[in-house]
A and B are shown apart, each in its own frame.
Chain A
Amino acid sequence: MEGLVKLSFYCFTAAAIALASSAVCYVAYAIGRVRLRQAVMQTSAGTTFSTSSAEFGPGAVGIGRYGTLLAWFGVVFSGLSVGLRSIVAGRLPLSNMYEYSLTFIFVLTAIYLAFERFYGVKQLGAIVLPITVGMAIYVWSLPAWMRDVDDLIPALQYNLMMTAHVSSAILAYACFAVAFAAAVLYLIASKRRIAWLPSPAMLDDIGFRAVTVGFPLMAMVLILGSVWAYRAWGTYWQWDPKETSALFMWLVYGVYLHTRGLRGWRGTRSAWVLIFGFAATVFTYYGNYFFGGLHAYGGV
C-alpha cells in the first residue's frame, strides 16, 4: 500500500514533467514563428544604421503535435496517479487539497484535449497547459503529510455523495478554465487579426460551449452539496463561505449567459465576464485558505 502511494506520486511527477513540456510546445505553437530581419541602411550623409523588423508566421505543425502528444502523456500519467491512489483509498482521491488538485490536473487536461479534438484548434493549449503546470507546482508545494492516505472523518464518509459533489466541482472548474482560455484568446484575436489564431467567432463558441457544460455542473455542485448538507448537518443551506462563493461564481456565469445575447455586451465584454468568472472560480477553489466554516476540513 505504501508502495502504491509512492508510485502514485512518481506518476504525478511524470505527468508534471510531460505537462510542462507540453505547455512549452503549445506556447511556442501559439506564438508562431517570429523571424527577425536586420537591414543595414545608408543615409544620404553616408552614415549607416540598421533596422530590425519582425515577421510573424504560424507555428510549426510539428511542435503543435508534440504539444498534444505530451498532453496525452500528462493525462495518462496523472490518470495513473489518480487511479493508484483510488485503489489504496478505496475511493476517488478528492478529500484534501493534494488529492483534489491531483484529480483536477487530470480532469482539466483531459477536458482540454476533448475540446482540442472537437474544435480542431490547438492554441487554447497555450493557456490551459500552463494552468495545469501551475497546479502541479502547487501540488508539489503542499506539505508531504498530505500525500498520505488518511481515514475520513464521519461527515465525509459518504462516498457516493462526496464523489458526485466534488467531482462535479472539478469538472465544472475545468470547463471554466477552458472557457477562460477561450476568452483570453478571443480578446487577442478580436483586437489584432492574427491570421493563424482561431476566428473570434469560434473562440466565442468554445467559451460558450465550455460554460454550457460547466454551468449545469456547477448547479449540480450546489444542489448535491445542499442535499448532502441536509443529510449530514440537517440543513441544506447554511450560508457557509464555501457555499456562498460557489453561488457567487455560478451567478457570474449566469451573468455571462445573459450578456452573450445583448448588444454592446456580446463579444469583448462577455469575454471579460468569463475572465472574471474564472477569477471567481480560483477564489472558490482556494477559498479554504481564508474561509473558516464547515468546509474547513479541506486539509489546508
Chain B
Amino acid sequence: MAQLSARPRVAQRSPLEIGVDRVWRFFCSVRAAVYEIVLLALLVLIGTLGNSSVPDGIADVLPFTAPLVREWYAWDVFHSLPFAAILTLLAVAITVCTINRAPAIWRAIANPTVPTSHGFLRGADPSARMVSTATPAAFGDDLIGVLKARRYRVLTERRGDEIHVYADKNRYAKLGTFPFHLALILILVGGIVGARFGFREQEVIVPEGSTRAIGNGTGLSIHVERFRDTYAESGVAQEYSSDIVLYNEDGEEVRRGTTTVNHPLTHDGVVIYQASFNQAVVLQITDAAGRVLFDEGLDLGIYQSKTNPDAPAGRLDLPMAGLQLNVIAPDNNRVNAPELDDLQLRPGEMYVKAIPTDPTKAVTAGIVRQGEAVDLGGLSVRFVRETQFSLLQVARNPGIPIFLLAAVLLVGGLAVTFYFPHRRVRGIVSPAPSGAVAALAPLAKRDWSGQRDFHRLLEEVANRLGIQPEVHASDESGFDRDGARPDGDQPMQPGRIRPAATASRARTR
C-alpha cells in the first residue's frame, strides 16, 4: 500500500533527482559495500601474489600463461589507477553511508519508540509470558526493577490500562561503528598527507666525523660524531648506533643524540634511522697553494672497483680542481678470486687514482699509506685514517599523527561495537483476571547471544519475583536443543527455565 501511494510522487521527480537518489542509495547499500570490499580485497590479493613466487609457479604448470604472468609481475597494483579508484569509491561510500544512517541510529538511542503490539510479542522468537497476582502497575514496577538490576535503561508508556515497556543497554555502543568506519577514511588521508608533504631519503651516507645536509626543505644537516657496531659471539650483529649532532641552516647545534636500529632519533618531525654502515676513509686534500679542499670521511662501499669487486671503493668529485678521485681499499675477501686482486694492497694502504675532467690531461695514480700523502694531479692527498660511515635513513611523515589517531579510533570503535552489544527488550504488562500478565520479547532475531541474554533475564525474573516465565522458543532460536544436549557438562541454558515443551519439539520450519 505504501508503495502504491508513493508512486505519484516518484513520477513527479525530475530525472536528476531520481539519478541522485539512485547514486545515493548505491553508496548507502551494504550489499554494494560488500562487493566493493571484495573488489579491493581481490586487487590486494593480485598485488600480494605479484610479489611472490606463485605466478611463476602457475606459468611453470601452464606455459601458455607465461605472457600473462609477466604482465602480472610488471603491474604495480598498489600504485595503479584501479586501486586508487576503488579506495576512493569506498571512502565516498563510507561517508555517504555514515551521513545516511547516523540520524536513525541517533534516534534509536535518544528516543526509541516505546509502544509495541501484542502481535509482535506473540510472533517474536523467543518470547516469554508471565503471570502475577499483583496489580499491573506493581508488576510493571517489579519487572522494571529486574531490568534495571541488569543495567537496562527502561522506558515505559501507558496505553489504556496497559503498560508498554522498552528496555535497552549499551545503547551508546551503537555509535562505535562511526569512529571505526571514519578511521578507515583517516588512514587513507594519512597516507595521502604523508606522500604529499613528507619525504624519505633512503640512503644518507655520513662517514664518522663528517657532516651531510638532509635537504628536502628541512635546512638541517647531520654530523656523525661516532659510529659503533657490536657483535654477539655467534657473529650476528647485535647493534649499530651513531652518535649524531644536528645543525640548523645557521650551523647552530639543535639536537644531539644517538640513533640505533629500532630507536630512531626525532627532531621536529624529522626522523633519523640507523639503517646500516660500511667502511670509510678520512682524506685530507690540499692544493698547491696549501688550501684545504677536502678534509673528512669518504665512504667506501657504495662503489666497487671494476677489476676487483671484493675491494671497497669510493669516488670523490673535486670540480674546483677539475678532478675526480677514485679510491680503492684493500681487498676485503682475499680468499675469493685472488687473481682479480691486481693491486695487492695491504691493510693500511689505499689506491688513489686522479682522473682529470679534461680528457686530454693525463691520469695519475698511486698508493698511499696511512698517515702519509701523495701528490696526484697537482694535489696533495693525505690518508689520515680509516673509519666507518653510517648509512642513515631520514624521513618526515606528517601523516603519522593522523594514522595513529585512526588506529585508536579503529580499534576502539571495534571494541565498543563488538564487546558492548546493544540489547533490547520490548514488553506489555496488561491486567488479567488473576492480577497482571506480562509479555516480553528481545529484539534478537538470529542473534543467539542476544537470545541467551534474554534467557538470563528471565532467570533473574524467576529468582527475584518467584515467577516462572513461560518461554516460547522455536528450534531456530537454537535454545531448545541445548536442553536436550547429550553432554550436560555446562548447560548454556539457564537451568530452571525450560522452553515450553510443545514449542521446543515442534519444528517451525
Contacts and interface: CB of A to CB of B under 8 A. Distances in A.
Contact of B411 (A223, A226, A247): A223
A201 B236 contact: no
B478 A201 contact: yes
A261 B30 contact: yes
B34 A231 contact: no
A83 interface: no
Interface residues of B, number: 70
B271 A234 contact: yes
Nearest to B274: A154
Contacts of B239: 154, 157
B114 interface: no
A235 B234 CA distance: 30
B41 A255 contact: yes
Interface residues of A, number: 68
A287 interface: yes
A120 B490 contact: yes
B429 to A, nearest CB: 29
Interface string A232-252: 111111011100110110011
Contacts, number: 171
B268 interface: no
A230 interface: yes
Interface string A171-214: 00000000000000000000000011011111011000100110
Contact of B261 (A157, A201, A293): A157
A150 B236 CA distance: 9
The residue among A122, A202, A213, A227 with the most chain B CB atoms within 10 A of its own CB is A202
B30 A287 contact: no
A258 B40 CA distance: 14
Nearest to A259: B34
A155 B393 CA distance: 14
B369 to A, nearest CB: 34
A287 B419 contact: no
B448 A205 contact: yes
A244 B234 contact: no
Interface in B200-218: 200, 202
Contact of A291 (B37, B51, B275, B403): B51
A14 interface: no
B397 interface: yes
Interface of A: 58-59, 61, 64-65, 117, 119-122, 150-155, 157-158, 161, 195-196, 198-202, 204-205, 209, 212-213, 215-216, 219-220, 223, 226-227, 230-237, 239-241, 244-245, 247-248, 251-252, 254-255, 258-259, 261-262, 265-266, 287, 290-293
6 contacts: A202-B492, A226-B403, A231-B263, A232-B261, A234-B202, A258-B34
